[in-house]
Amino acid sequence: MAGTLASEPESIEAYLSAHDSKSLLRFITCGSVDDGKSTLIGRLLYDSKLVFDDHLSALEVDSKKVGTQGDDLDFALLVDGLAAEREQGITIDVAYRFFSTDTRKFIVADTPGHEQYTRNMVTGASTADAAVILVDARKGVLTQTRRHSYLVSLLGIKRIVVAVNKLDLVDYSMEVFARVEASYRAFAGEIGLNDVVCIPISALAGDNVTGPSAHTPWYEGPSLLGYLESVPIDDDQPDGPFRMPVQLVNRPDPEFRGFSGRIVGGSVRPGDGVRVLPGNRESTVARIVTAGGDLDHAITGQSITITLSDEIDVSRGDVLAGMASPPGVADQFEAHVVWMSDDEMLPGRAYLLKMGAKTVGATVAKPKYTINVNTLEHMASTTLMLNEIGVCNLNIDQPIAFDPYSENRDMGGFILIDRLTYNTVGAGLLHFALRRSDNIHWQAIEVSKRAHAELKGQNPCVVWFTGFSGAGKSTIANLVEKKLHGLGHHTYLLDGDNLRQGLNKDLGFTETDRIENIRRAAEVSGLMVDAGLIVLVSFISPFRAERRTARELVGTGEFCEVFVDAPIEVAEERDPKGLYKKVRRGELAHFTGIDSPYEPPLNPDIHIDTVRTSPEEAADRIITELRRMGRLRPT
């Protein structure tokens, strides 16, 4: 057996010392569904004698109750812990297991094979040093095998084991193994996977899992465990430039101010000069503090607290970096994006981008292309669907410090989060900053919003009217502007139809175009608020995410959302522009409320029911609310 459980130690101290000195290998198992990933991990644990007696007893009971191997042990049940997994016989979530041999410690992530759970596979692969890709000897290399291999390559995992499994079901055929190996190596070469070892195994029978098998005398390579015990581990950026994202500003008392985080590249010593990014401030390391005392040297992977010799502004999400080779700072990038949501990616929609401890607002442009994982062909696309991989440009709302993912995983990997649900919808890898990010700089303007507002004697704001076509938005917005004008206030009305005559005339009515339509309107209204105006914006604006983005473009208290509410049946009956009739005749597609969705506000500042409220009454109510908000001068 290539690896066995550690022998009985002479003392607990000796055992713990030996255990601590072992290297740690993180690896994942991946591949297509039913290739035997969970069974393989269960077999590794069982043959390495790492299954406790009570677990073994439970395994025997579960194998008879829900197992798939008759009277034999079903090793997959050691890993498939969710009830849904046992009932369906599949892996759904990522299952992490720890085990140890005389040689090395291991953390293995058993990742799902089903295409719909590819997002979970990306999660498991993000911290792995090696990948074990299983291939069913009877089926050969499948689409999901290629997809997982491409993702492994994309995520920077260089050590690959191809475990050609279920060889017992093809009579341990050397020809079948050779055919699968040749097929896989041909694909691996196309995606840059060069360090590939192929091992013929039967996870169920234990062939070549922890030791050589008599059933494959023609195979002279290592067993799977033998390979995992001996494969070199590439420490993350041990010799690269120093990088430490700040996770916590540590202030236990007034006398101490430190910056805590994990070193993700290089090393640091007291006296080293550091740069704080993205603000580009400089200082010198005074102390390296840990729970066990101060250090005179810290390296990649260590979690520490650094104190600086200068009292400079450092915040959570900033990066402490070496002076000689600091990371880049930018707000526009090209990146690979792996889409993980059932809802398609919508170009122009505002998402949250989280990289380390830094969270910023981000929009994703239309993909430059998506990747066909079977042919590696670059495909034209306007969006990304679940599990698709594409190359896109990103725009974020503030500069961040970064390194390309190929140089530093922690400094170049990110996730995308839906702003309303806070679900993770995508993961990505930064390539480089776009050139225009370096060439465009914010121009300071000396006449401020406050100065514009004081000159006009008012407090600027956006009054955003949303609702179905025919609900009464434009009518009420016109009345509000007339009343404000009569009161001597400086206003401007942005109407959706009017903007589509000029600024937005190039946009259609798809979801993507609607998002861009509202993005432009929101940006214009924000500029008008900076000019000191009270801006009335009348757009259907069907999506909550874009209305929220519009709110966030102005200051606190400067946005008033007015839900002009009428049932779709009432709006269609009114049909002031004849649009509903065109929809019913099939002359107009993507119409909100009929064949395109509308997301009503969940908590609007003002809710106007236009069935029960006249336009005049609605306008007076809005004026009253604006006065209560302090937006209007006292009467």
pLDDT in tens, 348-391: 899 999 998 999 999 999 999 998 877 888 999 999 998 889 99
Q: Which residue has the higher pLDDT, 289 or 237?
A: 289
How many Å apart are CA 482 and CA 484, to the nearest integer? 6
CA 25 – CA 228 distance, rounded (Å): 8
Q: How far apart are CA 575 and CA 555, in angstroms?
A: 36
- pLDDT for position 120: 63
Q: Order of strands across the sheet with 196-200? A: 95-100, 104-110, 23-31, 130-136, 159-165, 196-200
User: Which pLDDT value is given to residue 438?
Assistant: 65
The CATH classification of domain 328-436, taken from the options 3.30.565.10, 2.40.30.10, 3.30.1490.190, 3.40.50.300: 2.40.30.10
Residue 38: per-residue pLDDT: 76
Q: How large is the average pLDDT for residues 14-31? A: 74
Fold of 12-230: Rossmann fold (3.40.50)
Give the pLDDT band of residue 463 (cuts 50, 70, 90).
Answer: very high
Classify burial at 477, counting beta carbons within 10 Å of its beta carbon; exposed 0-12, middle 13-18, buried 19 or more.
buried
**pLDDT given at position 340:** 87
110 neighbors 97 (Cβ within 8 angstroms): yes
Q: Where are the alpha helices (DSSP H) in 248-356?
A: none
48, 202, 525, 541: which is the annotated catalytic residue?
541
- Fold of the 449-628 domain: Rossmann fold (3.40.50)
pLDDT band at 112 (very low <50, low <70, confident <90, very high): low
| Residue 7 annotated as catalytic | no
Q: What is the pLDDT of residues 530-548, one digit of tens each?
A: 999 999 999 999 999 899 9
Please tell me the predicted confidence (pLDDT) of residue 1. 40
Q: Which residues of the chain does CATH 3.40.50.300 include?
A: 12-230, 449-628
Q: Which of 86-100, 255-269, 307-321, 360-374 has the lowest mean pLDDT?
A: 86-100
177-230 residue pLDDT tens: 999 999 999 999 998 898 999 999 998 888 999 899 999 999 999 999 999 999
635 pLDDT exceeds 60?
yes
Least confident of 41-55, 234-248, 474-488, 566-580: 41-55
Q: What is the mean pLDDT of the chain?
A: 85
Rounded Cα–Cα distance for residues 466 and 600 (Å): 8
pLDDT for 571 beyond 70: yes
Of 256 and 111, the one with more pLDDT:
256
pLDDT of residue 590: 84
pLDDT attached to residue 42: 77
Indicate the pTM of the whole model: 0.78
Per residue in 129-185, pLDDT (tens digit) is: 899 999 999 999 998 888 888 888 888 888 999 999 999 999 999 999 999 999 999
The pLDDT confidence band at residue 75, using thresholds 50, 70 and 90, is low
Confidence (pLDDT) at 113: 46
Examine the pLDDT at 249 and tell me if it is beyond 80: yes
Q: Which CATH number fits domain 243-322: 2.40.30.10, 1.20.1290.10, 3.40.462.10, 3.40.50.970?
A: 2.40.30.10
Is pLDDT above 90 for 255? no
Q: Note the helical H segments in 67-173.
A: 83-88, 118-125, 143-154
Are the C-beta atoms of residues 328 and 279 closer than 8 Å to each other? no
Stretch(es) of the chain classified as CATH 2.40.30.10: 243-322, 328-436
